[in-house]
Amino acid sequence: MNVKTTKNLGKLIALSLITSTMLHATNGDNLIAIGTKARGMGGTGIAVSHGAESGISNPAMITSIESSEISFGGTVFMPDISTTISFPNMPLPPQANLSSDADLSMIPAVSLAHKVDENWYVGIGMWGVAGMGTDYRGNQDLSVGNIGNMNMVTNLQLMQFGVPIAYKTGGLSLGITPIVQYGALDIDYDGVDLNTFTPFSSGAGVAQDFGFGWNLGISYDFSQDGAPGLTIGAIYKSSIEMEYDEQLTTAVGPFTMGMPLTLLPDGDTLEQPEEFGAGIAYEMGQHTFAFDYRKIKWSDAKGYSAFGWDDSDVYAFGYAYAADNEWTVRLGYNYASSAVVEVMDPRLNFFNLLGFPATAEKHYTIGASYDVSNSFAVDLAYVYSPENTETFSLAGLSADPQGSISTDHSENGISFQLTYKF
């Protein structure tokens, strides 16, 4: 591999790795659902109510509560991501095998909803919507063209605080949740200056920002119209723009070789995309069936659009069976094609699969609730996303037309929740 190619690959590897914590991958970088009950039913929650936790998914659905309800819980998220970079026709080393040791994160969720009167409902909540990092300090095979181990450590945290407000009249419910989003991003790594080949350390400390948005929801219960058990719903979530000062632009600075940051036209901005969806649910005795469709507009979001992300079409199926007065069991399936797609620019292919491997597509879910008493319940859910492999061409980055990057991505998630009604 010649010096020019080595330098180009070095820049690509560095830029890709330092942006890797912008991923919290399930449906793109969104969890398939926030609450434990919704996660047990494949992420459905637009037309089926899950009590207080519905304040973040469809605020109109909190109108199902009878008095007041509070829930405390969280998700233990366990991704498994590995990447292979291959140039089979180039001099040694022809291949690098990479694996992130940041394979465990805790995502909290707290929801409260209160029935004010027969028409009005209010609540408050705090929900973790993203929380993931990468850790390459134990990775000894981070080498293409002798770039070496960068001791990369990154951390991204996203929390949303909201106040759901809902109004109900007859079978119609309307809701809005104003959102304050808190984000924190930290990038820290060691490297080698590609001009002088002298070692350096990069890291600007933790960057923090607040953003503002809202969730809108509507639902209609057809029970009063001769179709008991049938409910439809729709939601809209606004985009939320975040600015992480001196993170992305500072981190990539040593690898720009004095050239403009053409691959980061939005600078340090990373925008959570807008989203809209519709759902239908049918309750028949002890059985509840639900289906949701959601559209996530990655292609219009600053930061994500620059890397060629495609919009996500999310299909969610859920089933619940109320076995008796104590137990409810849930099953679900969630599918969305990868937001990361192969593009013409091999640099972006490199960035996306190494730094943004949001390639999980299929999710199988199971959950259960146990009512300890009329007031207190315990909720559990398990989500499994089988390994999905994406391989993109790197032809054009070197003289090897068979150069490629391949990423394997699987996930496990365990959610738990305590619910108290009063």
Report the 3 state secondary structure along 17-50: HHCHHHCCCEEECECCCCCHHHHHCCCCCCCCCC
Least trusted range by pLDDT, from 5-19, 74-88, 122-136, 324-338: 5-19
Query: What is the structure's pLDDT at 265?
Result: 77
Q: How confident is the model at residue 253 (pLDDT cuts 50, 70, 90)?
A: low
Q: What would the mean pLDDT of 272-301 be, rounded to a whole number?
A: 96
Give me the count of residues in the chain.
422
Q: How confident is the model at residue 262 (pLDDT cuts 50, 70, 90)?
A: low
In Å, what is the CA distance from 172 to each residue of 72, 123, 218, 219, 223? 28, 19, 8, 6, 11
| pLDDT of 322 strictly over 50 | yes
Q: What would the mean pLDDT of 280-294 be, rounded to a whole number?
A: 97
Report DSSP letters for 98-122, one per residue. Answer: EE-S---EEEEEEEEEEE-SSSEEE
Write the Ramachandran bin of 19: left for phi over 0, alpha for psi from -120 to 50, otherwise beta.
alpha
Q: What would the mean pLDDT of 43-59 be, rounded to a whole number?
A: 96
Least trusted range by pLDDT, from 44-53, 300-309, 310-319: 300-309
Q: Cβ contacts of residue 71 below 8 Å, gap of 6+?
A: 35, 36, 51, 52, 53, 109, 110, 111, 112, 379, 417, 418, 419, 420
Q: Which domains does the chain have, with CATH numbers?
A: 3-421 (2.40.160.60)
| pLDDT of 44 strictly over 90 | yes
Q: How confident is the model at residue 50 (pLDDT cuts 50, 70, 90)?
A: very high
Two tokens at 383? Answer: 């989500």
- Whole-number average pLDDT of the chain: 83
Span 362-408, pLDDT tens digits: 999 999 999 999 999 999 999 999 999 999 988 877 777 888 888 88
Query: What is the structure's pLDDT at 5?
Result: 42
| pLDDT of 145 strictly over 90 | no
Q: What would the mean pLDDT of 243-267 be, rounded to a whole number?
A: 64
DSSP helix/strand/coil, 354? helix
**Cα radius of gyration rounded to whole Å, the chain:** 23
Least trusted range by pLDDT, from 31-35, 154-158, 219-223, 412-416: 154-158
Q: How confident is the model at residue 150 (pLDDT cuts 50, 70, 90)?
A: low
More confident residue, 62 or 247: 62
More confident residue, 243 or 100: 243
pTM above 0.85, yes or no: yes
**Bridge partners, 250 (sequence order):** none
| pLDDT of 272 strictly over 70 | yes
| pLDDT of 54 strictly over 50 | yes
DSSP helix/strand/coil, 136? coil
More confident residue, 400 or 203: 400
Residue 310 DSSP label: P
Query: What is the structure's pLDDT at 147?
Result: 39
